[in-house]
Chain A
Amino acid sequence: MADRESVVVVGGGAAGLRAAERLRELDFDGELTIVSEEPYRPYHRPALSKQLLTGALRSKDLRLPVHAELAATWRFATRAVYLEPDEHVLHLPGGEEIQYDGLVVATGLQAKHLPGAPRHDPRVHVLRTIADAANIQKTLSRGKGALVVIGGGFVGCELASAARELGREATIIVRDDLLLQNVPGADFCETVSALHRANGVDIITNAAVSHWVPQPHGIAMHLNTGQVVIAATVVLCVGSVPAVTWLRGSGLIIDDGVMCGPTCHAIGASDIVVAGDVARWPNLRFDTVPRRVEHWLNAIEMGRAAAENLLLGRDSATPFAPLPRFWTEQHGMRIQAAGTPALAQDTVSLGDPVMVGKRITGYLSGGELVGVVGWDSPRGMQKWTAELAKKTTLSMRRRQAAATRTPEPRPALGPATYDWSATDLNVLAALEPLPRDR
């Protein structure tokens, strides 16, 4: 399967671009087509909710650098319509068909709709594309009115932070008790929420919009808490869904993204690999449960790995088992994460004596470190990310060795048990276990 003559990449974001770049780096000299729904070259999506909105960067600054001669046919503003994996044919609008020997699926996400929200109103937005960001900017620049964000995820938090930087009033309406409730460890949500409140963001918790009243001077939102909030600009940040409608009927498994094996190959096809936000795959570094990872750095690394494995072919491919890394910036605070904190039941403070007053939290599952989060502490994060990579690599090898030796599953360690083995003592010398979250 090494001699592929034509590869089609569906999706023109970071994952698609990096897959295409990697194919050329590996001397793939066949035809390369990139089908992108966007009318523009790949751009730096993370900046949309941060530097682009505040004006620190302009749209022309966001073009992603490429270090290989891509020699690709770009099909801009083109939506993939349908896929026939058995025929190796991708259908495009107007009845166009493209034959492929290899396909990279990197269609990413779409912003989720909030039922009942007046999406026809030009003051109500979502944020996924650079066009969305430009529209938000346009509405914001029409006056000095308030920005209201619905949803307490990372994008919503970054938008509120950018609005405050621009001197605007900002409100976040969130269903839960705190912001970022899907990150485990209560101290994380509390810290972020406190950070936003200290910077003048109004957080309305346990609330949902029950009634929308668009008026000439602003959009009034009646909340189920009895409050009424008026906004000049509204952004719906209620999550996203994988962009897979074009794969309906293809036979691929698409209930939450595209289901893949450990090597990024789509289940049910030998010439299709999947990368980025849309891919759901088992990261063997942690376990065998297929999950999606919505991190920009993962899109880059997975795009490259998918390209490598496509060229190697399904049987020679190697598992993609990265250590996920993530960052966000809110009100000037750099928050970084590595690993998979969502798997944790416990947190510990990883006090770094070098960085007095800086905070790094370790996330433990079954006594093993599975994630770290750092607060304005890049140097400590560098050290702990490397340490986490080493530890998780070791435990992955141990699990694999155990799986090949004994077919019986080993009894799971209780969440409160911490395995203070000799190696751990070296690594975690500075650890002080905290009381468990209740």
Chain B
Amino acid sequence: MTRRRPAGARRVRHQLSVDNDRCKRYGICAAEAENLFRLTANGGLRYRRSVPEDELEQAKAAVRCCPTLAIVLEERH
């Protein structure tokens, strides 16, 4: 679904979310996108919800490589 954006319109924003029931905290995402995901010392996962434009490719890589398909990347208009 490609929608044409008129010049000067707001840019598409991307948002990350992680399904906590699916996530097993292997940390593959943290390796693929170290500025977006971080394994905490007590075994948890921290992540940034909104993805800066220049981190978008890394965010996609994290989604692709997640061993449990726990990460969703969504466009917000």
A residues near B (Cβ < 8 Å) are 18, 44, 46-47, 51, 56-57, 61-62, 64-65, 67, 69, 296-297, 300, 325, 327, 329, 334, 336, 354, 378-379, 381-382, 385-386
Nearest-CB residue, chain A, relative to B27: A378
CB contacts under 8 Å to A, within B36-77, are 39, 41, 43, 60, 63-65, 67-69, 72-73
> Within the complex, which residue of B26, B39, B63 is in contact with A327, where a contact is CB–CB below 8 Å?
B26
Give the most central of B30, B31, B63, B67: most A CB within 10 Å: B67
Q: What are 26 A-B residue pairs whose CB atoms fall within 8 Å in the complex?
A: A46-B67, A51-B22, A51-B68, A56-B22, A61-B69, A65-B64, A65-B72, A67-B60, A67-B63, A67-B64, A69-B2, A300-B64, A300-B65, A325-B28, A327-B28, A327-B67, A334-B24, A354-B41, A378-B26, A379-B27, A379-B41, A381-B27, A382-B27, A382-B30, A382-B39, A385-B31
Measured CB to CB, the closest approach of chain A to B8, in angstroms, equals 24
The 9 closest A-B pairs by CB, nearest first: A378-B27, A379-B39, A67-B60, A382-B27, A378-B26, A327-B26, A327-B67, A44-B69, A65-B63
Q: Say yes or no: B69 contacts A334, CB within 8 Å.
A: no
Complex Cα distance, B65 from A312, in Å, reads 24
**Chain A residues within 8 Å of B28, by CB:** 297, 325, 327
Q: CB-CB contacts of B1-36 with A at 8 A, as 1s and 0s? A: 110000000000000000001101111101100000
Measured CB to CB, the closest approach of chain A to B67, in angstroms, equals 5
Measured CB to CB, the closest approach of chain A to B24, in angstroms, equals 6
Complex Cα distance, B1 from A381, in Å, reads 38
Q: How many A-B residue pairs have CB under 8 A?
A: 55
List 4 extra interface pairs beyond A44-B69, A65-B64, A297-B28, CB under 8 A.
Answer: A69-B1, A336-B26, A379-B27, A382-B27
**Chain B residues within 8 Å of A62, by CB:** 69
**Chain B residues within 8 Å of A64, by CB:** 69
Complex Cα distance, B69 from A347, in Å, reads 32
Q: Say yes or no: A329 contacts B24, CB within 8 Å.
A: yes
